[in-house]
Structure formats: structure tokens, C-alpha cells
Structure 1
Amino acid sequence: MRTQVETESQRNTSPPMPASAVPRRQFDWNSIRCRLLSYYKGVPNTQSGTFETVNFIIWHMLRGAVKIKYTGRSLEAGAGDWMVMAHTLGRRYQVFTPGSQIESLHLGVDTGSAEWAGPPAHVMRGDAVLRDAIADVGNYVTIRYPAGLTPDDRAYAAKTFEDRIHLQKLVWTLMEALYPRLTEAGIHIREPDQYDARVGASMVFIDNWPDNLPWNRGQIAWAGGVSASQLDRIWREARGQTPFQYWNDRRVRVACDRLENTDASIKEIAYGLGFLHLPQFTTWFKRHRGISPRGYRQRFTDHFVRSG
């Protein structure tokens, strides 16, 4: 009598469902994370200079004016204007007029598999909702840092879980007020092209995979509902990379974020990402970033001190 249990080899050799027949999976927006790194109000730290845009930056011009240049383009903002720059802006030259004063926020926005689309920088006039939202963030921060959390500080560190909850509420309220204005200018976070539900399901699984757990090809394939080799092929066709490459890229981003925005030791960061030996982490990071973790942290710190 023929058994009804299909063997693993039979499942692996069965023809995959064509992508056109697989329903599109809705993107999980819970993978987007946003947090405050610094808040500063006063005279810009640097009058002029060239900087790499490594965070999501908001400048509210209180007095004076600023001009930035990037990839052959330029933008100017005067008193009352808001200058918004996504990290996709890259290298920029900026110059403030004498006597300028700004309200500046640096945010860490992790978009996961989604990406920023549209112009990387924008200037707009503010409104009462935006002004109140940024003021609420500023007031909350300056209670804990009376001189303000200036860009030469490491980053805002929540002291308690309640502190974290409240600050997240304020930051997301600010983003709630800001994002519609950005979309009007054509700037938005675009969900990835997930033509295949199997890609979407496994992508969500990877996005929520604990950072310190080793890669498990079989479990990722289980989330996609196909064999590991089939999932690799589907991913290559849909995204030009395998699930492992996507997971590894994600780990690199997490490592960079922790080197940039936390005081954790490099050894702690390595262990938190599942590396049992520090040299192994150093070699892996250098292979992907061309610089050691220590060198990367120092370079980021030097830049962050100089940029406003």
C-alpha cells in the first residue's frame, strides 16, 4: 500500500509553484525602528565643513540660514525652515551664516528590508504641530541633560524602561507629524518588492530572528514553506541574493548601529551577535566594512563630534 507521507527528497524535487501563482505578502512594518540619538539647541558646532550623513537628521532653523551641497545639488534653509536629511544623502558640504541657531535632532531609523525613496534632503516650512512635537522631545531630553544632548555626546541612553517607553512615544509622535510632509515631497520609506509570498514570509522570519542565534537554513526554509535550495533560488530570482546574504547584511547593520550608538564594549557586541571569539568578529566585520570594529567606532565618533 502506498504511504501518504511524502519523503524529503520528493518534496525537494517537486516542481515549485510559479511566482505568478503565489499571492503577494503584505510587508511587516513592525520591522521599522526609530529612536533618538541626540537633541541639541543652540549655535551649530561647526560653521562649515564636509560631512558624511550617517543618521536621519532634522534641523529646525531658529536664526540665520544654512546651505548644503551634495552630488551637484544644493539646498538652502532660512529662519523658520526645517531641513530634513536622510542617511541616503551621503557626503554633504554645509555652511551656516554667522549668528545661526538651530534645533537639531539625530535619529537612528532602521528600515530593515525597506528603503528610503525620493530626494535624500528636503526643506519645508514648519507648522504648530511639528514645532510642538520637537519641543516635547527637547523638553523631555533637557530634563535629564540640562545643557542638551549635544552631538559630541555618545547618544541618548534611556535610564529605565519607563523612560524608553515615554521617549519612544514622543519620537513617534514627531515622526507622525513629519512623515506626511515628507511624502508630499516624494520622500517615503518604500517596502521591498516582495513578488513572492515565500520571500516575504522568510524575510519577516529573518527580521525577527534573534541576533545572537546562529544561522539555521532549515528553519528559514520552513518559514517559506519550501526546501532550502528552492528558497535560495526563489530569493535570487526576486532579490538577487540568498536568505543567508540578507541575514548577514542585517547583522552588519546591527553591528554598525551598536558601534555607533552604544557604549557596549566590542567584545559585548561580538557576543551579542553570536560570535564566540572576538577575533572571529573582527575578521568578519573587517571583511564587510574594510575596517576593524575599533577603527569604525573611532571614525564614527570623530565624525559625530564634528557634525552639527
Structure 2
Amino acid sequence: MPDHPASPFPVAPSGQALTTRYQDWMALKTNLLWIYEGDIPLDGGGGSLFPESSVAWLVLSGALTVSYAGQTIRAGADEWVIPRPGIRRQDFAPGTHLLSIRFQAQWPDGRPLFDEGLGVSFPRHRFPDLEVRARALLGAARDHTPADDPTLLGIRHFSMGAFIGIKTRLLEFIGAFSGALIACGLKPTRLGTRDERVLHALSRLDNQPLSHKFRERDLAVEVGLGLSQFVRLFSAEMSLTPKKYLDLRRRETCKRMLINSPIPLKQIAHDLGFAHASDFSAWFKKNHGIAPKEFRDRFPQGSNL
């Protein structure tokens, strides 16, 4: 396999580098969920999704329409489509042939690396490196991908070398993916200069065990501020309070556990810091409008695009 040197870190259209501290980048979760090139599944012609991941589609033939939150994207052959993570409807013309990459590039609170400004589409030829990196990733994963269902990559057994090879290609793809989106005018989440005390608080909140009790006052003391001053400073940088930030992380973790695992609800409640399953159910219903069991039962498992 040819060696592809890593892409330089993206630069904003203004020429200003989009940076944050190395220890903050360490919190970014990156994983390949699956990649394949082929025709859409028979059950992939529509439906509502609630993915927790990012997706990039290169339409090789056919056409697709993606709709959500009042926005509609239509794309045909030789176009990339990057939809916004979240609930959406997607419809594919019969015989549509795709290069499909689903992956995670998200912070501990569940917010993806790119969010505001998505979805977008652009011609295949505009960013040739994006396809080069995608096909290098496809090549690294091909020998390990189940032929009958590429979406089952996660249950395959890997050597450390094979895993590192795929991870390396994934990071190179994310670099090209980020460069393309920045060139389209988007900006990565959580980047830019911040007060060091907010950065310290973010690091603590990202690593705080969700089963442990959290008090904003304790974190304020740790960064050397009064409670109201700390909450005001954090809110100015992050647009939400530390308590709400941690609760958002708890909600995202809960959804992932309900969607991706058979863990009993009682155990999920304990892992998220609830003393009683009834308290957990009430909290979940308040935030999502339905009980956790109903959410798990309703989650659509059929579409694997």
C-alpha cells in the first residue's frame, strides 16, 4: 500500500491556525465504525436516524436526498455529502452506489468535531485528497471487513498492528475531511483561545467519572475563583454552565449505552450516578420525552449507511 504523508493541520480561511492545547486534543474520541464501497442496502431508501457519529458519502452513481431541521441536500454522482449528525431522513435513488465512511470524531460531551454549518455537499474534484485518504482507509480496512455486512467491523478480531494501521489511516482521513470543511467555511468545535482556568475545568469535566457526585463550587475553588465568577467565565466561553456541560456529557453517554449495548437499565443508572433506577428513568424522560426502555426499543437498527 502506498504511503500517504499526513495532511497539515487545517488553517482557517483568514490564515489563522485553528488550534487548542495538545492535552485538549487528547480528549477527542476518534474511531472508524465502518467503511465500504457498494450499492445501498435494500432497506436504506429512507427513514429517520439518530446516529451518534459522523458520516461522509461519496456518491459514485445514482442520487440521494437528505432532509432535517428544514434543510434539504440533494446530490448526484461525483459529489461528496457530509450531513449534520443527528435525526434526519435520507432517501437514495434505486441503484445508488456509494463510498460510505461512518466514524466518530467527538468530544466527551458528545459534540462532534464539526457541527454548526453542516450539512454540505461539494464536487468530488474540489478536494481530491479527501478521496485519496478515504480510499487509503478503505484499503486498510478491506481485509477485515465482513463481506456480508460491512457495518459489523466492530465485532471482528484485530491484531494490534492492524488496528493501528486503520487508526492511522482514519486520522489522515479526518485531517483531509477537516481541511475540506474548513475550506467550505466551517469551523471545528471547541477551538480557539480560552482562559486557562476554563481549559483546566474542561479537562476535569471531561474526565470526571459520571458515577461520582459533582459540585460546581469544588471546581471553582480548584481554579481559584468564586462560584459565581467561575460559572460566569465558563458560560461565556462554552455557552453553558459547568453543571449543564457535565449533564450533556451524561446524556450523550447514556444514549450511547442504550443504543450500542445490552447493559441492563439498572446498571446504566448506577454508572451514571443515580441511586435508584426510578430517578434515572425520570431524568431521562425529562430530557428526551420518553422512557429509556422505549428509547432503546425505538432506535432504528435497520439502516447501516
TM-score bin (small chain) = 0.7 to 0.9
> Does residue 306 in structure 1 map to residue 299 in structure 2?
no
User: Which secondary structure state, in structure 1, belongs to the residue aligned with residue 258 of structure 2?
Assistant: helix
Partners of 2:219 and 2:72 in 1: CA distance: 45
Partner in structure 2 of residue 79 of structure 1: 77
Q: 3-state SS of the aligned residue for 1:49?
A: coil
Partner amino acid, structure 1, of 2:88: R
Query: Which protein is bigger by CA-based radius of gyration?
Result: 1
TM-score (norm 1): 0.74
CA deviations over 1:139-171 (Å, ceiling 9, x no partner): 4444333326445x5x72474682654433232
Output aligned runs, 1:249-264, within 5 Å.
249-264=248-263
Structure 2 counterparts to residues 1-308 of structure 1, below 5 A:
28-45=24-41, 46=43, 48-52=45-49, 54=51, 55-87=53-85, 90-92=87-89, 94-111=90-107, 112=109, 116-125=115-124, 129-147=129-147, 149-150=149-150, 156-157=154-155, 159=157, 162=160, 164-191=163-190, 196-236=195-235, 239=238, 241-300=240-299, 302=300, 304-306=301-303, 308=305
Summarize the Cα distance change of 1:290–1:242 in structure 2 as closer, same or farther, 3 Å threshold.
same
| CA offset digits 1:76-107 (Å, max 9, x no partner) | 3333322111216x433x33233221122222
SS at match of 2:98: strand
Pairwise CA distance, 1:136:
3.7
Residue type matched to 1:228 in 2?
A: L
How far the C-alpha of 1:287 sits from its partner, in A, is 2.1
Structure 1: segments with no counterpart, 5+ residues: 1-24
Contact map agreement 1:142 1:149 (CA 8 A) in 2: no
Which whole-Å deviations, capped at 9, do the CAs of 1:227-276 have from their partners, x for residues lacking one? 33442344455555432122111111111123233454434433333334
For the 8 Å contact 1:33–1:109, the answer to whether it is kept is yes
Q: 1:159 to 1:284 in 2, by over 3 A?
A: farther
Partner of 1:270: helix, strand, or coil?
Answer: helix
Aligned equivalents of 2:217, 2:181: Cα separation in 1: 41
CA RMSD of aligned residues (A): 3.3
Length-normalised TM-score, structure 2: 0.75
Checking the alignment, whether the CA contact within 8 Å between 2:82 and 2:118 is kept in structure 1 is: no
SS of residue matched to 1:98:
coil
| Equivalent-residue separation in structure 1 for 2:159 and 2:274 (angstroms) | 27
Q: Could you tell which deviates more after superposition, 261-270 or 174-183?
A: 261-270
**Aligned residue identity for 1:106:** R
- How many pairs are equivalent? 278
